[in-house]
Amino acid sequence: MSLIENNNKQATRSEQAAAQAAASRRGPDEIAQDIARAILARQLPPGIWLREEALGRMYGVSRTKIRAALLILARDNLVETVPDKGTFVSRPSIREAHEVFAARRLLESEVVRLFVATATEREFAQLEAQIHHERAALDKSVPGNVREETLGDFHIKLADLSGNEVLARFIRELVARSSLIAMRFQSSNESSCSSDEHGAFLAICRQGKAQEAVDCMLEHLNRIESSLSLEETPPAPESDLFRALLR
């Protein structure tokens, strides 16, 4: 769980202090990962201002470290810096949404081919455990943000198992950007991954049918993209939650 999520929960004072003490030992890379995880979990909506001093206070680190973390996130297109204004969580455009899904189709096709060619029983078991975890997260008592994060994880785990670290890094970025796209353009839960579709995909991979598995992944990504409501809308007002968090 990211420190941001922890802050948003009604954690006790001592739990928060312990999380903050652990956070203060983190370097810019880890802080960037923590913020990226909060974006993936839809804890930080597109367009929200990431105030350096507030983040520094929250993580118990210097602004220099926060600035370095924000630079890493900017490189991954998860945040954008506006001169004289500050750094904001990226607010993807319609064009960017199409481009992200086009890139995912291309890269994830290759991930699927590599995975089917090299997958071991242990790796299939890891992905099956992930689907099991997704289904458990569908339980209504699990907060929506945790469900979203869990569903996106399937694609990241699959990419990790492809054995190509460069591809896996791109996929991590694109899945996080897809979360921002879904937050901006999602009209219903149809725009999310479905664990049934993940299960059907894995069953095809198990049969060693590489092309069918690629087609199944492409259908899955097409379905998610086509269910987005791609219309320009004005920026959403900041929620009280984030006003409180980044005060």
| Cβ proximity to Zn ion, 59 vs 185, nearer residue | 185
**Size, binding site for Zn ion by CB under 5 A:** 1
User: What's the rounded Cα separation, in Å, for the pair 145 and 159?
Assistant: 22
* Distance in angstroms between the alpha carbons of the first and the last residue of the chain: 21
Amino acid, res. 242: F
| Cβ proximity to Zn ion, 7 vs 150, nearer residue | 150
> Given its phi and psi angles, is residue 189 left (phi above 0), alpha (psi -120 to 50 degrees) or beta?
alpha
Strand partners for 116 = none
Kindly write out the interface string for residues 157-196 of this chain, putting x where it contacts Zn ion by CB under 5 A and - elsewhere: ------------------------------------x---
| Cβ proximity to Zn ion, 31 vs 193, nearer residue | 193
Q: Where are the alpha helices (DSSP H) in 24-59?
A: 28-40, 52-59
| Cβ proximity to Zn ion, 41 vs 193, nearer residue | 193
Provide the minimum distance between the beta carbon of 240 and Zn ion in the complex, in angstroms, as a whole number: 31
User: What's the rounded Cα separation, in Å, for the pair 185 and 233?
Assistant: 9
Q: Does 217 sit near Zn ion (CB under 5 A)?
A: no
Provide the minimum distance between the beta carbon of 30 and Zn ion in the complex, in angstroms, as a whole number: 26
Site residues, Zn ion (CB under 5 A): 193
